[in-house]
């Protein structure tokens, strides 16, 4: 049970703004596929990998964040809708 909904919403909004800033900084090197409250999924050209990693490292240091990465060779997303 969330006891402090206002603080929870503030944290969520702030993290979304931080992720949006990262996306803006990477936009010339990636194709954004998906973003949510704590992650982004994107495509990139292998030749840009080290540059992207460098930008992410700089970003995480500025915002005092950690991160993990998962390289995906194939991606499948299923979105269900009500009929």
Residue with tokens 């992207």: 52
- Residue from 31, 35, 32, 37 nearest 15 by CA: 37
Residue with tokens 């950690």: 66
In the numeric block, which tokens belong to residue 83? Answer: 């009929």
Does residue 5 surpass a pLDDT of 90? no
What's the pLDDT score for residue 2? 59
DSSP result, 29-47: TEEEEEE-SS-EEEEE-GG
Q: What pTM was estimated for this model as a whole?
A: 0.79
What's the pLDDT score for residue 80? 80
The gap from C-alpha 27 to its chain's centroid, in whole angstroms, comes to 12
The model's pLDDT over 22-78, given as tens digits with 9 standing for 90+, comes to 999 999 999 999 998 888 999 999 999 999 999 999 999 999 999 999 998 887 777
């Amino acid at each position: 049970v969330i006891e402090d909904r206002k603080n929870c919403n503030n944290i969520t909004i702030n993290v979304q703004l931080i992720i949006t800033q990262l996306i803006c900084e990477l936009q010339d090197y990636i194709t954004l596929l998906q973003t949510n409250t704590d992650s982004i999924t994107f495509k990139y050209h292998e030749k840009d990998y080290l540059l992207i990693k460098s930008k992410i490292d700089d970003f995480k240091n500025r915002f005092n964040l950690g991160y993990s990465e998962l390289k995906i060779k194939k991606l499948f997303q299923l979105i269900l809708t009500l009929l």
